[in-house]
Amino acid sequence: MNAAPADQIRLLDLQALDSRLDQLAHRRRTLPEHAEIEQRSTDLAQLRSLTVAAETQLSDTQRELTKAEQDVDQVRQRAARNQKLLDSGSVGSAKDLTNLQHEVGSLAKRQSDLEDVVLEIMERLESGQTRVSEMTARRDEAERSVKEAEERRATSYGSIDAEVEKVTRDRETLAAAIPADLMKLYTRLRTQNAGVGAARLFQRRCEGCRVELSITDLGAVRSAAADEVVRCENCGRILIRTSESGL
Ligand SMILES: [Zn+2]
C-alpha cells in the first residue's frame, strides 16, 4: 500500500486521538465513584430495612400499650362498681359482702400488676422510639451520602464527556483528511492490536511493540519508498517513519 508521507504522519496524530478516546472511556468505566456508590447503596438498603423493622416494632409496642391500658381501665371500672356497691350498703347477706370484699381486694392486686405491665411497655416504647430516631438519622445520612457520590460521579462524567466530544470532533476532521484505504488498514490493525494500529519508528524501535528492528528489517524499511506503507515485522502495526527513526 502507498500513502503520502504527510498522510502517514497524520495517522500518528489520529492514533494519539484514538488512544485518548480509549483512555477517557476507560476512565469513565473505572471511576472510583462506581464502587463507592455501590457500597453506599448497599449500606443504605440495609439501613432502610433496619428502619422499617424498628418502626414496625415500635407500632407493635404502641398497640401493646393501648391494650394494656384498656385492661387496667376495665379492672379499675369493675373495682369502682364493686366499691360503689359496698358503699351503698345494699348488699344484705354476710356471705355476699365477704365475697365482694374479697373481689375488691383481688382486683386491687390485679390492677397493680397490670399497671406494672403498662410501665414495662412504656419503657420499651421509649427505647423503641430512640431506636427509630437513630435508625432514621443513619438512613437519612446514608441517603445524603449516596446522593453526594452520585453528584461527584455526574461531575466527572460531565468533564469526561466534554473532552470526548471535543476529541471526537478533532478526530473526525483528521480522519476525513486521510485516504480511505489507509484508514481501513489502520482501523483493522487497531482492532487487532489492543487499540494501536499505527506506531512511530523511533530510534530503530517500533513504539507499538517496543521491539527494536533487526538489521534486515531496518534495511528493508530504509530502502522502502517514502510513500510505501511499512509494517512492523514483529507486531504488524503500520510503522511511521520520522526524522528520529534512526534510519
Ligand atoms: Zn511493532
Centroid of chain to Cα 216 = 55
Q: Mean of the pLDDT values across residues 200-229?
A: 96
Burial of 121 (0-12, 13-18, 19+ CB in 10 A): buried
- Ligand 1 centroid to Cα of residue 211, in Å, is 6
- Ligand 1 centroid to Cα of residue 1, in Å, is 18
Q: Mean of the pLDDT values across residues 14-20?
A: 98
The answer to whether residues 199 and 189 touch, using CB atoms and an 8 Å cutoff, is no
pLDDT value for 18: 98
- Ligand 1 centroid to Cα of residue 210, in Å, is 6
- Ligand 1 centroid to Cα of residue 33, in Å, is 36
With 90 as the cut, is the pLDDT of residue 234 above it?
A: yes
The answer to whether residues 20 and 164 touch, using CB atoms and an 8 Å cutoff, is no
pLDDT value for 48: 98
Q: Mean of the pLDDT values across residues 166-191?
A: 98
Q: Residue 90's pLDDT band (boundaries 50, 70, 90)?
A: confident
- Ligand 1 centroid to Cα of residue 128, in Å, is 70
Sign of the C-alpha dihedral computed for residues 127, 128, 134 and 137 taken in this order: negative
With 90 as the cut, is the pLDDT of residue 92 above it?
A: no
State the pairing for strand pair 198-202/205-206: antiparallel
- Ligand 1 centroid to Cα of residue 115, in Å, is 89
Q: Worst-scoring range by mean pLDDT, 19-33, 92-106, 156-170?
A: 92-106
- Ligand 1 centroid to Cα of residue 40, in Å, is 45
Instruction: Estimate the crossing angle of helix 5-29 against helix 94-176, to 10 degrees.
Output: 180
- Ligand 1 centroid to Cα of residue 90, in Å, is 118
- Ligand 1 centroid to Cα of residue 212, in Å, is 8
- Ligand 1 centroid to Cα of residue 197, in Å, is 10
| Residue reference for cell 526524522 | 243
Q: Residue 125's pLDDT band (boundaries 50, 70, 90)?
A: very high
With 90 as the cut, is the pLDDT of residue 89 above it?
A: no
| Residue reference for cell 453506599 | 40
Q: Mean of the pLDDT values across residues 71-78?
A: 96
